Structure 1
Amino acid sequence: MPISGAQALAIGGSLSAAAALAHAACVVVGAPAYRFMGAGEKMARAAEARKLQPMLVTLAITGVLFVWAAYAFSGAGAIGRLPFTKLALSAICTVYLGRAVAFPLLKPAFPENSPTFWLVSSGICLAIGLLHLYGLIAQWPAL
């Protein structure tokens, strides 16, 4: 049985929220979580040294992912309509799908990230991006 557009956006939003929580866990747990998530030894050592950069970068990503989850839930009708929902969901979908396929171009800028990190995170971005795309197309008239 196929899922509805609202269901796809709700699932995508839930996955964005889960990704946000995973990033927040890195801030709380520290270096072992950065290592487990494949963020690279440089980030893990910086977290161990209690430098601000890993925490600030990770909190920024966490915040963005929570906002993206809220827009997906809004598009699904699970929460009230947020401003610019069509535009925001279109941009979110584009970023997720772009991140999924652009990882070969991004890898040189982040040489510390493990191959597992790139494959797993890109696969997750692809799945979430496709859920958003399906949901956005299906929900377009209602948005």
Structure 2
Amino acid sequence: MILLKLAAGMVGMASLLHIMILLGGADWYRFFGAGEAMAILSEQGSSYPTLITATIAAVLATWSVYGLSGAGLLPKLPLRKIVLAGIASIFLLRGALAIPVVLVSDSPYMQELADKMTFMMITSLICLFIGTGYAVGTYRLMTADRK
């Protein structure tokens, strides 16, 4: 369960990073790939970037808690195996498909991301690692029940 512990820790750090982005404002939105539109909305005092970023932080925190539960560091949570499999799938899909989607899409935001290919490669690799950690952990939980 070492991979799942590590992956859950990384997701927890990503949640904290999103909280830091909330505090950092527009420049942080730009640096971390949220797009110019989100940065401008943040500069204008719109609540939209705050709501979206806070929601992402909450989802990531929840996913981290589920990962820690799956790794045995926290009590068993409801639907743990199904949720962990879903989290693994989302991270693996994000890691595998983000770059191809960015390259074929013609939306302004995707164009911004296409211009930040180093960022896209790094975040995609991170997502693949996290997804693998959750997938391996989920597999081990499911096979442990059969023994």
TM-score, with structure 2 as normaliser: 0.86
Give 1:66's aligned residue. Answer: 61
Matched residues in 2 for 1:126 and 1:75: separation? 18
Whole-Å Cα distance in 1 between the matches of residues 63 and 143 of structure 2? 20
**1:31 and 2:31 matched:** no
Query: In percent, how many aligned pairs have the same letter?
Result: 34
**In 2, are the aligned partners of 1:38 and 1:116 still within 8 Å (CA)?**
no
Following superposition, the deviation at residue 106 of structure 1 comes to 5.0
Unaligned runs of 5+ in 1: 1-5
Provide the rounded CA distance (Å) in 2 between the counterparts of 1:127 and 1:7: 13
**Per-residue deviation, residues 51-97 of structure 1 (Å, max 9, x unmatched):** 11111111111111011101100000000000001100010000000
Structure 2 residue aligned with 1:105: 101
Query: For structure 2, which runs of at least 5 residues remain unmatched after alignment?
Result: none
Q: Which amino acid aligns with 2:73?
A: A
The 2-side partners of 1:68 and 1:121 are apart by 17
Tell me which moved more, 17-26 or 111-120: 111-120
Structure-2 residue corresponding to 1:120: 122
The runs of at least 4 consecutive aligned structure 1 residues that moved more than 4 Å come to none
1:21 aligns with 2:21: no
Who is 1:46 aligned against? 41
Instruction: Provide the C-alpha distance between the structure 1 equivalents of 2:34 and 2:133, rounded to a whole number of angstroms.
Output: 25
Aligned length: 138
Equivalent-residue separation in structure 1 for 2:135 and 2:7 (angstroms): 10
| 1:128 counterpart letter in structure 2 | I
Conservation of the 8 A alpha-carbon contact between 1:89 and 1:136? yes
Q: How does 1:70-81 map to 2 (within 5 A)?
A: 70-81=65-76
Q: TM-score, normalised by structure 1?
A: 0.88
The C-alpha deviation readout for 1:11-30, integer Å capped at 9, x for no partner, is 11100001111111111111
Q: In structure 2, how many angstroms separate the alpha carbons of the residues matched to 1:16 and 1:38?
A: 17
Deviation at 1:141, TM superposition (A): 3.7
